[in-house]
Amino acid sequence: MARPIPVDEVPVSTRAPAPPGPATPLRVQFPAMSRNGRVVIAMSGGVDSSVAAALLREQGFDCVGVFMRVGAEHDAASAESAPAEIACATATATSLCATAVSPGCDSSAPVDGGAPGPRTALPQMPGRRAANRHGCCSADDALDARAMAGRLGIPFYALNFRREFDQIIDYFVAEYADGRTPNPCVMCNIHLKFGRLLQYADMIDAEFIATGHYAQILRDHDGAPRLARARNRAKDQSYVLFGTPRTALARCLFPLGGFADKAEIRAIAARLGMRVHDKPDSQEICFVPDNDYRGLLRRRAPAGGRPGEIRDTDGRLLGSHDGVWNFTIGQRRGLGFATGEPRYVIDLDPRTGVVTVGPREALRQGTMLVTGMNWHVTVPDAADLRCLAKIRHQHEPCPATMTQAGADSARVAFDEPQPAVTPGQAAVLYDGELVVGGGWIARE
């Protein structure tokens, strides 16, 4: 299996500080810093994407900030009351519609007194008036993203991905209804950030796309780009990026991947006078801001809830429920009954509606089948490969052996049985720091 090798260091102003002790061979890898290289930077209005944009601008990239308007349900009201200057007029000429930054956010404005440089004109798309505006994940986030782009002196566009995002919400609902636990963040990255956003980059002749994700792009021995874990292990997001096409990695920039501490990012933002330097990190699913995903399921698919039984591993009836989508593997709270000792959900059967519960030991599983694999390496057929397997975002990757079970499937055997191996969740395999591939845990 290919191993990472040292790459040329990036300029000191952008490079993360070296840790104490011997130098690590894992460093942030940027492509050649062309003064004319254009990069589309996804700006969410948070501190991470804002600092990522600032670092890339300092590198000499021709940065284009974009905000993805997804029309999440909870923002329907705030969209109507949002300030007019952050409204997004949608275009009809293309499905990747955009609106230029408003006059209040001058795309040629200097940063910290510096003189703005000349820019190649970006295509302007015909728009409608504000009466046809619609919401995004947060009106405040849109305003923050626009303000940060203005402070950095970069053009800012809003992209209308509402229709595509609605399909991700449909996926979320369908997975729960089928007894699986979905991961909408992974799907958003696959289809929007590293799908539709790449298409938009092609439309404006941008070589690269960038985000504020905590991950790295390293080079293996043959020079091929590889997705790798961030130095900040607590923030590492390579798990949710496994679906990025292998062919797209050479065009991806993750400026924050080499920083070991989030405090460094906030310090950069404060030094640049960014008002988002102390903005809290988002914790909830963006389209379920109140964390009441069951309410969303009832609204989106009222007929999807099917009453059923709750039984223990011996088949003993313990209670009833109004739909398997109320449960996920490993759940202990809110089961609706008491037995005097902890019981966990260990199986969901959407066909019969039976939810099976048992002791914690029953949660552990020695193997899993992973389907829909997106390989980041060429894996020999029928070869047993040692790897580290990560089965949910907060799970520490554990030693395992992987064998291909088809072109897009893998059988994974853990060295030690793991708790709550959950159908529908992503499983990502690593060779040390490098992503080997990832897919979806299947029900067997």
As annotated, the active-site residues are 188, 286
Q: What is the amino acid identity at position 128?
A: R
The torsion angles phi and psi of 384, rounded to 5 degrees, stand at -85, 120
**Eight-class DSSP state of 38:** E
CB 210 within 8 A of CB 64: no
Where do the H-state alpha helices sit in 178-247? 184-188, 197-203
**Locus of tokens 């500080």:** 17
CA distances from 60 to 11, 53, 111, 119 (A): 11, 11, 13, 12
Parallel, antiparallel or unpaired: strands 308-312 and 317-321 = antiparallel
Residues 38 and 77: their CA atoms lie apart, in Å, by 36
Neighbours of 221 (CB within 10 A): 9
Which sign, positive or negative, has the C-alpha torsion 184, 95, 144, 152? positive
The CA-CA-CA angle for residues 288, 165, 428, to 5°, reads 80
Residues 190 and 194: their CA atoms lie apart, in Å, by 5
